[in-house]
Structure 1
């Protein structure tokens, strides 16, 4: 297949059906200066099937475009692909399936006059192919002309050159670079036909193809489009027409005056713009996609949710448009658009329903998809769907209470993250503030990672300057902390060890001495008598979610220092997940157990109890040997 966006793009083969879109734009509208929406239809290359549109008119390739540059490979590839499509059908005893080239983008410049914004390589090559066939069959007439503005300005007549190419001498054919490339392409077309077993039959087969089943997707841009800007987007910036732009033209071309409803186009266009604005809202977009990635047009999401890719991992270009086109052909544009409006209403309804917003937003954030959720909602009542979301979350987590207790940092990071995110989402949902909403946009935007609430080691402190920074920060924290009479001597001892270590000349510090201080500092800020087993170090009772860039700043610090920095970040307006904030502000610890500089067993136990209380509804029910629920 041809490589770039100018290349031929064969669509998935399908039964031989066609959509004839009625173009509602009139010359009178253009002359009156009214804004005309884009129109779209498939067009045959040369006249053939009765009543089907074909390419016609006079096309100007404006000076802002580069010249014709297709080479021998691209020309041959196009002919080979068309021939292969016909050969495959012939072997199966079938009629060739409709075959679509990429969109040709035009702007009207008066009746029968078009500015060719995108597609000059394809239209020029198709013109040359039809021209060659015309030397064999006088009925094979192309009904359009091409003119290149830059070449006309040089005193050349590009239209005349194309029309008489086969009779011109080498001097004219090589008079400028565009003429040279066009002549080379025509020679390659001639050579391709000569190489066929039966050149006359090959010419007849290609003629039948261009007049019966090879189409361009004709896209007439809105009348107020700036052609330079559109060309830049499509070519220099390599941003092709989106599915939604093609779908919009298709829907509007099949609505309005063509179906006896003159005002329908304006109504659909207004709805379209409203839907696009809604989907560009950061919170709504992240709720639906679990992402903050922007697109040229966001309304594509609605159409993609209606056209699942049937097992394909990646949608081919214009897959969505082709599926919508088939749907409109079968049901009509009115029925299709009613479904779009209903789908938009369903999604905005979910977004504005506080419970559904949190339950669905969480599922999307951990990998569920809105199209699957829409499908699940179709066969259920509203209340049944709400209940089903709880069960759906339970099935995705696949955790019992015992299994939650065994989750470990470094072994089950993804599950730990899912559990902690659920705790945060459910905490916001359960808030007495009925206006509180978890920000799935901030969650998708910032990137989150697991953070030990109280560290027990200092991984990554390999360089001397890193160790000195750690020691300076922690000795400052030790000296600013009010210690109990029981811990004061130990605190002074650790501070003295740090002072002595920092007093060593640069390069004289050693890993062994640093590790001794490290162990004593972690023990000092730990709970007296508390153990440091793998379970309470790496389990959920000692984990929280924090932005990755914040995590890197807090990593390796004891709880007291982390708490101080989290408070500073919170005061500065940084987004901290609600449960992470609650942990470091000690909201989960009973007043009687409050020790602000320590994260000990009593803190871990009460934090873990709150976690289980928040997510308990979504955990699998455990059964005993007799199959009875375990309380």
Structure 2
């Protein structure tokens, strides 16, 4: 079938909403109807002054060519019976009326500024028509505003003693503006400023070189959406029109213009070239609709989303494709403007910044997605890039996307190792990471163990990929594998002492069954002592020193069990550290190896996620090369266990920690190459 005969594509693409950026003069002579589901005008001093502060700052020192107001969401009223029903009759714009779904507060405020300008200078003609369903005469109130005869900074109104609440708020907004300009007299921001450069900038048309303007996002519904339902979505649920919706309209509205190949168009007779251009545009829009859904569906896969997103949260993303747009626009995490991403997309199009046109911009979206998806499906990239994303922020991911487009695969892979090394060493590449201590380098140790888990999973090809979605769903803490010091237990919280005693009794009862015929290790007396203390722990005379004796008695029991392997004091470096779930609370976390081992085995059996290396620690798997591996004790984390664990960590981290800066390598290679070429 000839693609240019596919009328359904054209029809589908034409059902999208219209999106435009309009300077304020383009609102003039238009007619707006405010339906009764909207509340009355309620902007107070804070909102009015904030707008004037922002506009003044932009006009004087602001960057960029225009100040963008929030969207105005409207829908054309096409039925004459509806216009007649609401008494909508205007000489302006061929009596075309728009129902305002969102933005009537902004429109009314703009109309107030136009009215004030007309009072200052009768030649100012900027205005548009507002008709409020709840108060049909309210739209005429702007013409009833008057300057006070005795006070230049005071606005009155006809019959103002009998104003309705909406008229009163409009009059208050006008006087609030006048007070703001009065306060600005001392700094040159008085009435002369309002009538001069302020209003000139406020009413500049768009795209005039070296001239600033104020623009609104004009979002016109054309897709059959019910205005009332749209209003509820945007207001009742406090959901603002998001960047994804605005960018979608940018690509798919009737006003969208796509670049096309002139050679292709010129191959058709002149009388049909416009038809071909229109259908070529519709074909591209149909492609975008299809690919948009594919990208959104993939981003909604938990594993993929957790890979590309630092915290795996979709907070602020009703459409996850917006996250992709944030990456392309290089949005900063601390950027407070909710529409930054859309405005940067619009800027890229307007200034042809990094893109040649609308179609090229969409291809950039597809390319970003394809790159992320290719990383996700590559085992090496998945683990290394997934680690960097989890440990850094969007800026790092944006940098990686830029690097991947400019580097060879070999250099890009080396750069990943180098970035990880910088992260693990806190940018001190000469640091001895194995000397980090729990008390002084907790953050660094956490990073090391997280990467150790990720890298161990990557290397163990028999294992599934590291589950970032499960890891990010839990609060992981750095804990001693075996704790012999009670100092980290809260001295004031007796409930923590009780939890510690309960878990240790539970662990000892498991051993009681195992050693019932072995007097040396039979723990009955120790269990009885703990149960006795458990019953009196809440008594005021039971103090932390009493609890410490319980702690020391349990440790002495396990020290005795581990004599053959050499028990040693508590160690605070990485050889005695593991990542434990936040569900292992702090009191149990400061406990002996056996308590943690049994708790982790229980959680593992219940299906709770345990990091790969943490599981291997408590299975004593790092001793697998010992001759007596199958019969060794599993109740104590000994010096030998720590030694084997540390060796395993060093073996896994060796490649990354020994990597060198690929940029310097390239420089050296270039110098050597030039030296060789001199003698050829």
TM-score range, shorter chain: 0.7 to 0.9
Q: CA deviation at 1:423?
A: 1.5
Residue 83 (structure 2) aligns with: none
For 2:527 and 2:57, the matched residues in 1 are separated by 81
Residues 481-560 of structure 1: pairs in structure 2 closer than 5 A: 481=511, 482-483=514-515, 488=520, 491=523, 494-495=526-527, 497-498=529-530, 501=533, 507=539, 509-526=542-559, 527-528=562-563, 530-534=566-570, 537-552=571-586, 554-560=588-594
Deviations 1:282-340 (A, max 9, x none): 22222122212212232222222223358x94353322222221211123212211111
Question: 5+ unaligned residues in a row in structure 1: which ranges?
Answer: 1-28, 47-52, 90-94, 623-631
Given that residues 56 and 112 in structure 1 are in contact (C-alpha distance below 8 angstroms), is that contact kept between their aligned partners in structure 2?
no
- After TM superposition, the structure 1 stretch with the greater mean CA deviation from structure 2, 598-607 or 183-192, is 183-192
Equivalent of 2:318 in 293, 296, 308: 296
Equivalent of 2:420 in 366, 390, 393: 393
User: Is 1:478 aligned to 2:513, yes or no?
Assistant: no
Q: CA deviation at 1:45?
A: 2.1
Given that residues 55 and 144 in structure 1 are in contact (C-alpha distance below 8 angstroms), is that contact kept between their aligned partners in structure 2?
yes
Residue 474 (structure 2) aligns with: 446
Given that residues 500 and 588 in structure 2 are in contact (C-alpha distance below 8 angstroms), is that contact kept between their aligned partners in structure 1?
no
Given that residues 41 and 219 in structure 1 are in contact (C-alpha distance below 8 angstroms), is that contact kept between their aligned partners in structure 2?
yes
Secondary structure, counterpart of 2:282 in structure 1: coil
Given that residues 329 and 345 in structure 2 are in contact (C-alpha distance below 8 angstroms), is that contact kept between their aligned partners in structure 1?
yes
Instruction: Please report the RMSD computed on the Cα atoms of aligned residues, expressed in angstroms.
Output: 3.7
For 1:313 and 1:75, the matched residues in 2 are separated by 25
Change (3 A) 1:76 1:540: closer
Q: CA deviation at 1:69?
A: 1.6
User: Is 1:69 aligned to 2:62, yes or no?
Assistant: no
Residue 141 (structure 1) aligns with: 125
Change (3 A) 1:301 1:133: same
Equivalent of 1:320 in 336, 341, 352: 341
For 1:315 and 1:187, the matched residues in 2 are separated by 29
Q: CA deviation at 1:68?
A: 0.8
For 2:595 and 2:45, the matched residues in 1 are separated by 68
Residues 5-24 of structure 1: pairs in structure 2 closer than 5 A: none
Given that residues 282 and 441 in structure 1 are in contact (C-alpha distance below 8 angstroms), is that contact kept between their aligned partners in structure 2?
yes
Q: How many residues align?
A: 573
User: Is 1:563 aligned to 2:563, yes or no?
Assistant: no
Residue 490 (structure 2) aligns with: 460
Change (3 A) 1:578 1:56: farther
Residue 614 (structure 1) aligns with: 652
Q: CA deviation at 1:351?
A: 1.0
User: Is 1:268 aligned to 2:288, yes or no?
Assistant: yes
For 2:623 and 2:280, the matched residues in 1 are separated by 70
Deviations 1:397-440 (A, max 9, x none): 22889823312222211111111111211222122337x11111
- After TM superposition, the structure 1 stretch with the greater mean CA deviation from structure 2, 422-431 or 224-233, is 224-233
TM-score (norm 2): 0.74
Equivalent of 1:57 in 9, 30, 40: 30
Q: CA deviation at 1:491?
A: 4.1
Secondary structure, counterpart of 2:217 in structure 1: strand
For 1:499 and 1:103, the matched residues in 2 are separated by 67
Residue 435 (structure 2) aligns with: 406
Residue 77 (structure 2) aligns with: 109
Change (3 A) 1:275 1:221: farther
Residue 66 (structure 2) aligns with: 98
Change (3 A) 1:209 1:493: closer
Change (3 A) 1:596 1:112: same
Equivalent of 2:376 in 318, 335, 351: 351
Secondary structure, counterpart of 1:104 in structure 2: strand
Secondary structure, counterpart of 1:417 in structure 2: helix
Equivalent of 1:40 in 19, 25, 29: 19
For 1:227 and 1:411, the matched residues in 2 are separated by 59
Deviations 1:131-186 (A, max 9, x none): 3434566654346311112224xxxx333444555599744773421122223334
For 2:74 and 2:405, the matched residues in 1 are separated by 41
Change (3 A) 1:116 1:105: same
For 2:378 and 2:483, the matched residues in 1 are separated by 40
For 1:72 and 1:564, the matched residues in 2 are separated by 63
Secondary structure, counterpart of 1:63 in structure 2: coil
For 2:59 and 2:498, the matched residues in 1 are separated by 75
Deviations 1:549-577 (A, max 9, x none): 22447323322222111111111111111
